[in-house]
Copies of this chain bind each other. A is one copy, B any other.
Amino acid sequence: MKLSASVLPIKVGRYSVVLSKDDADEMGVVEGDRLKISKGRSVISGSVQIATGLIARGRIGVYQDVAEELRIEDGSEVEIFPISRPPSVEFIRKKLEGGKFTKEEVYEIIKDIVENSLTEIELTAFVLSNYLVGMDFDEIEWMTRAMIETGETIEFERGIVVDKHSIGGVPGNKVSLIIVPTVASGGLLIPKTASRAITSASGTADTMEVLADVNLSVDEIKEITQRVGGVIAWGGATNIAPADDRIIRVENPLSIDPRPQLLSSVMAKKGAVGARHVAIDIPVGNGAKLGSVEEGRKLAGEFVELGRRLGLNLACAITNGSQPVGRTIGPALEAWEAMKALEERKGSTSFLEKSLGLAGLIFELSGLSPNGYEFAKEIFTSGKSLEKFREIVAAQGGDESVRADSISLGNERFSIESNTEGAVVDVINSRIVRVARLAGAPKDKGAGIYIHKKKGEVVRAGEPLITIYAEKSWKLSNAIEFAIENPPVIVSGMILERYPSYRVV
C-alpha cells in the first residue's frame, strides 16, 4: 500500500508509523504489527500504531526516527507491506518456556535489538526471560560476543591494553580519575569508556566532563590512548556495544539488572576496546547492588569464568559499598575531590585506598609489578598521576593547568548540622543520591553534596553533617526539604525517623 507521509517531529526510539483505522483494517494489520516500510529503494522494518480519526485515509504518520533513516519529508510517497514478526520473537518465547538459546539465536536477537526491530513489549520479554529463566555461560558468552560484534571496536597496534569497570550502585565513585592516570603513568594503555548518570547523581563521564570533553569518537579514544596512555570518555558517544544501551532502557524502569545482562554489558565494553587485563570493582554492603561479600564472591566467580571464555585476564575487587566513596557526590564536587587528592597526593582513605588498590590490581594482572598497590602508591605520591591526569585532560581538550580550586562549585549552599553528640552509624546511599539529584546533579554540574562526617566518625551537636551545593535556589530548597525529612547521615542516639530529626540552622 502506498501512502503520503506526514512527518511527526518526535523521536520514539524505535521505527514506528501511524495509520488511519481504515487503512489499517484495509491491510488487515492491528496495533503493533510489523511492516516493511520503504521509500524508493530504502527499506526498514517497523511497527504500526493506529490513529482513530486523526490520520486521514491515504496518509501515514512517520516519526522522526523513520523519517531520518529513510529521508522522508511531508508528502513523500511511502510504501508499506505487512511482514510477520522476526524469528527472534520465537526464540524469546522458547526462553520464556525455559529453553536454551543456540548461538545463532542469541546473535539474531542482539542484531534485531541493535536494528530496532523488536518492539518494546518484545524487548521487555527478552530482558525478563533472562531475569526469570536465566542463561548459562554458553549463552552469556555468545551474547557478549554478539554485543561486541554488532558495534564499533578498537584495535591497538602495540602496547598492553588494560581496563577497569565498576558494577555501580555506590555514590561518589570517582576512582577512575585516579586509576586511569596512575595506570597510564605505569606504561599501560587504558582506553576507559564510562557512563553518564541515569539514576545516580554523577557518572564518571559526567564528572570528567567538568574538566574536559568526553564526547569522543572511537578514533579519538584510540589516538589519545596511544599518545598519552589513557582516556576517560563517554561510552554513549561511541557505537561500542550499542545493544546494551537499548537493553538498559528497559531495565531501568523496572529496577532490575538480570545477571546475564550485567555480565555481558560490562564484558562487551571491555572486549570491544581490546582490553587484555581487566579489574572489576564489585561494591557490596547495605545500600549497594549486592548486600553481602558472599554475593560479591559469586558474581566475581562469574566474571572470572566469562573473562576466561573471552580470553581476558580478569580479577575482581570486592569493595565496601555501604556508604559513598570519598566525601563528595556530584560532578564538580567529585572532580574537585579527585583533583585535590592528585595535587596534595593524599585524600579520603576510602577514596584513595580503593583507587590505588584497583590500579594495583591492574599492575599485578599485567605482570608489571608483583606488589601492585605499593607500585601504584609510589606513582601517585611521586606526583606522576597528577602530571599524567593533566596530560589526559589536555588531550581531551581541557585546560592542562587545571587546579582543584579553579573548579566552580554551586553557589547556593546549605549545611545540615547534627542536633546531638554521637557517632555516625549510617550514611544512606539512596538518600544521598536523592538529595544530590534534587539539588540539580548531574545536569547542574556544580550541584551535589559534601559529607563532613562518615561512618564511625564522631560528631558534636551543631557540627555540620553534610553541605548541599546547588546552582539554583529552588532546587536547593527541594533538596533541603527532602534531606530534613529523610536524613541521609544517621548519628547514634538520635531517634531515626522523627520529624524533624535535625535542628536546621
By the criterion CB–CB under 8 Å, are A125 and B122 in contact? no
By the criterion CB–CB under 8 Å, are A253 and B122 in contact? yes
A 66-97 to B, binary, CB cutoff 8 A, 1 in contact else 0: 00000000000000000001000100110010
A414 an interface residue at 8 Å Cβ cutoff? no
- Segment among A3-11, A209-217, A234-242 that sits at the interface with chain B: A3-11
* Cα distance, A142 to B343, chains bound together (Å): 63
By the criterion CB–CB under 8 Å, are A121 and B119 in contact? no
* Cα distance, A256 to B252, chains bound together (Å): 24
Which B residues are CB-close (under 8 A) to A32?
249, 252-253
By the criterion CB–CB under 8 Å, are A51 and B9 in contact? yes
Q: For the complex formed, measure the closest distance between the CB of A199 and the CB atoms of chain B, giving whole angstroms.
A: 8
Which B residues are CB-close (under 8 A) to A255?
93
A264 an interface residue at 8 Å Cβ cutoff? no
* Cα distance, A252 to B11, chains bound together (Å): 25
By the criterion CB–CB under 8 Å, are B443 and A28 in contact? yes
* Cα distance, A112 to B131, chains bound together (Å): 24
A124 an interface residue at 8 Å Cβ cutoff? yes
A61 an interface residue at 8 Å Cβ cutoff? yes
How many copies make up the complex?
2
A229 an interface residue at 8 Å Cβ cutoff? no
By the criterion CB–CB under 8 Å, are A250 and B133 in contact? no
Interface residues of A in 131-162 (CB under 8 A from B): 131-133
By the criterion CB–CB under 8 Å, are A9 and B54 in contact? yes
By the criterion CB–CB under 8 Å, are A128 and B10 in contact? no
Contact of A121 among B9, B11, B85, B250 (CB under 8 A): B250
A369 an interface residue at 8 Å Cβ cutoff? no
Q: For the complex formed, measure the closest distance between the CB of A215 and the CB atoms of chain B, giving whole angstroms.
A: 14
Q: For the complex formed, measure the closest distance between the CB of A393 and the CB atoms of chain B, giving whole angstroms.
A: 24
A481 an interface residue at 8 Å Cβ cutoff? no
Which B residues are CB-close (under 8 A) to A93?
254-256
Which B residues are CB-close (under 8 A) to A10?
8, 18, 49, 51, 54-55, 61
Which B residues are CB-close (under 8 A) to A124?
120-121, 124-125, 128
By the criterion CB–CB under 8 Å, are A254 and B89 in contact? yes
A 428-440 to B, binary, CB cutoff 8 A, 1 in contact else 0: 0000000001101
A42 an interface residue at 8 Å Cβ cutoff? no
Interface residues of A in 244-303 (CB under 8 A from B): 249-250, 252-256
Which B residues are CB-close (under 8 A) to A500?
none
Contact of A254 among B26, B55, B122, B437 (CB under 8 A): B122
* Cα distance, A51 to B7, chains bound together (Å): 14
* Cα distance, A132 to B258, chains bound together (Å): 15
